Amino acid sequence: MRPNTKPKKKGSTLGGIIVIVVFIAIVVGIIMALTGGSKPKTTASNNTAPASTASTTPAASSTAQQVANWVTKYGTVFTTFSNDFSSIGTASGNSDTATLLTDCQKLQTDVTTAQAYPAIPDSTSASDLSTALTYMQSASQNCIDGLNNSDSNQLSQSAKEITQSTTAIGKVNADIKALTP
């Protein structure tokens, strides 16, 4: 009697994991592309352009500098999320539900940490990041609950929310690039 129940649960859990693997592969690729472009440009090098080009936008430079400073101090969070999604993708690909559960719990912890950071000093960027973090928080909880309850619907929802968070992170990246040319 129990052997029939366990394979059924495992099958539905594995089906949900397969859905997550597909979404995670897409998400990891997108986040890897985004994290490379979100680093602020520095002018500390001796090989910079002449000083006359640095003062072309004095009014915007204040916000741009604040955003660049935020990225310098807290921007590693994007790499952290990329690493989390990569780990989740690996565990999913290996059908390793124990490691996947641990990885989803780590994502949840990393989201909580990021939510405690000060807001990006640009309202549009801050709003887009808040949206991304909300989706990631929900995704991590649905992943945890889906694995604990062998619920493939929750695992599928988690994958969708990860995709939605990636879209929001893409907006944050575009916002930051527009502010810090």
Q: Which residue in the block uniquely carries the two structure tokens 């709003």?
A: 127
Asked if residue 141 is part of any domain, the answer here is yes
Contact in structure between 100 and 92 (CB atoms under 8 Å): yes
181: confidence class by pLDDT, cuts 50, 70, 90: low
**Which residues are CB-neighbours of 147 under 8 A, at least 6 positions away?**
13, 97, 100, 101, 104, 155
Picking from 164, 142, 136, the residue whose alpha carbon sits closest to that of residue 30 is 164
Percentage of the chain surpassing pLDDT 90? 61
Asked if residue 47 is part of any domain, the answer here is no
The 3-state DSSP class for residue 18 equals helix
User: What does pLDDT average to over the chain?
Assistant: 78
Whole-number pLDDT of residue 180: 80
Give per-residue pLDDT as tens, 95-145.
999 999 999 999 999 999 999 999 999 999 999 999 999 999 999 999 999
Above 80 in pLDDT, residue 9? no
How many domains does the chain fold into?
A: 1
Asked if residue 52 is part of any domain, the answer here is no
In angstroms, how far apart are the furthest CA atoms of the chain? 79
Q: Provide the 10 A C-beta neighbour count for residue 134.
A: 16
Asked if residue 51 is part of any domain, the answer here is no
Segments forming the whole domain that contains residue 170: 8-38+61-179
Above 60 in pLDDT, residue 169? yes
Asked if residue 148 is part of any domain, the answer here is yes
Structure tokens at 106: 């780590």
pLDDT, greater one: 27 or 85: 85
Asked if residue 124 is part of any domain, the answer here is yes
Picking from 167, 86, 74, the residue whose alpha carbon sits closest to that of residue 117 is 74
Contact in structure between 99 and 139 (CB atoms under 8 Å): no
Q: How far is 137 from 165, CA to CA, in rounded Å?
A: 9
Whole-number pLDDT of residue 20: 55
